[in-house]
Amino acid sequence: MVRASSPKVWYFALGVAFLIFVKIQPVQAAVIDDTFAGKQWYLGAIKAPQAWDITTGTQDVVVAVIDSGVDIDHPDLKDNIWVNPHEVADNGKDDDEDGLTDDVHGWNFVKNDGDVRPSMSSDGSKEAYFHGTAVASLIAAKGNDGIGIAGVAWNVKIMPLVVLGQDGYGQDGDIINAIRFAVAHGADIINLSFVGNDFNQGLDSAIREAAAQGVLVVSAAGNGTARAGDDLDLLPGYPACDKGVAGRGVLTVSSVNQAHQRSPYANHGSCVDLSAPGYDIFAARPVKDQKTGIAGSGYVDKLNGTSLSAPLVSGVAALLKAHHPEWGAIELAERLKDTTSSLPPGVTGLGSGIVDAAKALSDDAQTEMLGPLHLQAADQGQSPEIRVLSATGKELSHFFVGGGGDRRGLRAAFVRWTGNELPEIAVVYQDDPSGLWRIFSFDGLLLAAGNLGPIKDGLYLAAQDLDSQGADSLFMGETSGNRAWLVSRKNPVPTQITTLAQSMHGVVALSVSIPVPSFLVVPAVGSGRLTILGDSGKNLSNGSIKAPTAGSRWVVHRTRDTASDAIFDLSTDGARLVFSEDASGLELTKGDVEVTSWLQSPSGEPAGEGWREFEVWPR
C-alpha cells in the first residue's frame, strides 16, 4: 500500500502486489443460488448464512460508501442504490436545498456533480476504477437472485459518495464534506475503506460528530509492508485511529485470511477494534470498461486488503441495524465488538476477534440492555420512584429518589453524564419551586445534585451531547417562567441561557440530533418563538408558533415517522403542529403522520397506573 505524504492526500487500502493461492472454502450452497456463491468463502467465515435466517437487511437501512465511484447500474447493485427522496432527477434544480444540484444517488465531491459512477484514469489505474464498486458489492450485492454474488446485507441501500479520484487519491476536505452529507441525508452507517498517515483535526471532528449523531463509522486499518503490515501504535493511520465519541461509535477493521491468521499486509495494533476476511476476496467490479466500452463479466477475484474487510463489517452492522432499528452508533459498535469469534492463540493486534454475524444478531442479555430502554417516573400522588423497562416490559432498574411521603410526582430524562455505556437518569419534582435537580446512575446511585430556586412551578428536562464529546448537557426549563439553564459534568454549575425570548410562558425542549446535536425549544403555553440551541446555548435558528387560543398549553413530543425523518409534534386543544427535518429547516408537515410510539415527552405520557413515560433510549 502507498501511504500519503501530505496531510491533505489519502490513498485507498486495497492491497499489495503479491498473492498467495489457497484453497477456497465454499459457502453453504443451499443458502444462496448466486452464480459465484462458491467463491465467497468469506460469507461462511463471518457466519452470514446463519444471520440471514434472522434478516437479510431492509431498505430502511442506508450505508454510505465514501470511496471511488460505484457502478450504480451493475445488475447486482442497481436495486440497492439509495435515491434521495427530496431530489428530482435531472431537472437542474437543488430541490432539497442542500446546496447541491441533482444529488439523486449521492454526490461526486471530486468532480462536484451528481455523477457517482466510476471513471478510468488516464494511466489505467484499475484498482481506483473498481474499488468503490467492489466495496459496495461486499456490503449490499443483491443476494439469492441467481446472478453474481451476495452481499452481506442483501436488501440495504448504498449511498455512493465519491472522494477518491481516478488515481485513487483524495482530499481531506472532500472526505469531511462527504461524511456530513451522509449524516444529513440519513445514512445509518459510513464505510471508509482508505487510510493515510497524517492526522487531520477536521476529519477527526467529522467522525466524532457522526458517531455522536448515531451514525456508525467503519474504517479500514490499512495495509502496510507486504510481509508484516504496520503497527498502528508506532505508525498511526487515519481515519483508522480516529476513535469518535469517547472512543465509541467507530470501528476500525483489520484483515484475516482463511486460517483466521492476520493477513500478511494487514495493519494491526490498539487502534483495531475487530477483524474480518480481507484475503483472496471475490467481489463485483464495473460491468463496462470505460476506456474500451466493452462489457465484461462485472466481477473480479483474488483481491486483498483491509478495505475489503471493512465493508464486511459494515454489512454485518447493516444487518444488526435492520434487526435493531432503534440502536445508534454506540450500541451497534459495542455489540459487534462483544460478539466476535475468537482468534487463534498467539494472534494479537486484531481487536476483539473476527466479526460474527450470527452471534451479533442473536438475542441475549446484552441486547436487552442496549435498548430500547423506556424511562418511567412516578406520577403525582405516588411515592417518588424511577424505573427503566426493556422493550418487552421487563424491569431493568427500579429505585427511589426521595422520601416515601413525597407525592408531588416526578419528571425525568435519560442523560449521558459520565460517558458510560448505560445512560444515567436526571430527575426533578413536578411543581417544585426550589428547582432541585439530581442525576442518578442507571442503578440509582446519586452522582450529582443542585438547586436552581426560586423558580416557577418546577422544571422540564431534556439532554443532548452538544459538543460531540461523549457526555450530555442537561437542559432545564421553567414550567411556567421564561428561564432555562444548561449543566453538565464538565460545567457542573448551571448556566442560564440568555438567547431565549423573554416573553415565553414555560420553556420546554426536545433533543435534536441531525444536522447537529441541539435542542428544539418552544414555549409551553401560547404563541411564541421557536429556537434551535446548539453548543453552549448558542442560538442556531429561530421560528415562531401560534396557538389557536390564548393560554393554550402545548403538549410536545418527539418521534420518527415511517420515512425515518425526525418529527416534532406540538399539540393542544383544537390544533396540532407537526414539524419534520430535525433542525435543518423545521418544515410544517401537511397531513397526518403515522406514529407508533413517542421517543420523548417532557411532560410524560401515561404508562400504566401511577406511572408516566418520558423517554426512550438510545436517543
Active site residues per annotation: 67, 131, 307
User: Of 325, 308, 322, 298, which is closest to residue 77 (Cα–Cα)?
Assistant: 298
Q: Are residues 10 and 169 in contact, defined by beta-carbon separation less than 8 angstroms?
A: yes
What does the block give as the cell for 562?
Answer: 415511517
Cell reading at 138: 461486499
Residue 344 and residue 555: Cα distance in Å, rounded? 57
Task: Read off the amino acid at residue 85.
Answer: P
- Helix (H) or strand (E) run with residue 316 in it: helix 306-323
CA dist., res. 136 & res. 63, Å (int):
9
555 near 570, Cβ under 8 Å?
A: yes
How would DSSP label each residue in 56-77?
A: ---TT-EEEEEES---TT-TTT
In whole angstroms, give the CA distance from residue 476 to residue 166.
52
Can you give the three-state secondary structure of 143-196, one letter per residue?
CCCCCCCCCCCCCCEEEEEECECCCCEECHHHHHHHHHHHHHCCCCEEEECEEE
Cα distances (Å, whole numbers) of residue 135 to 12, 164, 193, 309, 592: 11, 13, 8, 9, 39
Backbone phi, psi, residue 178, to 5° = -70, -40
d(CA 136, CA 64): 9
Q: How far is CA 501 from the centre of its chain?
A: 33
Residue tagged 419528571 (cell numbers): 411
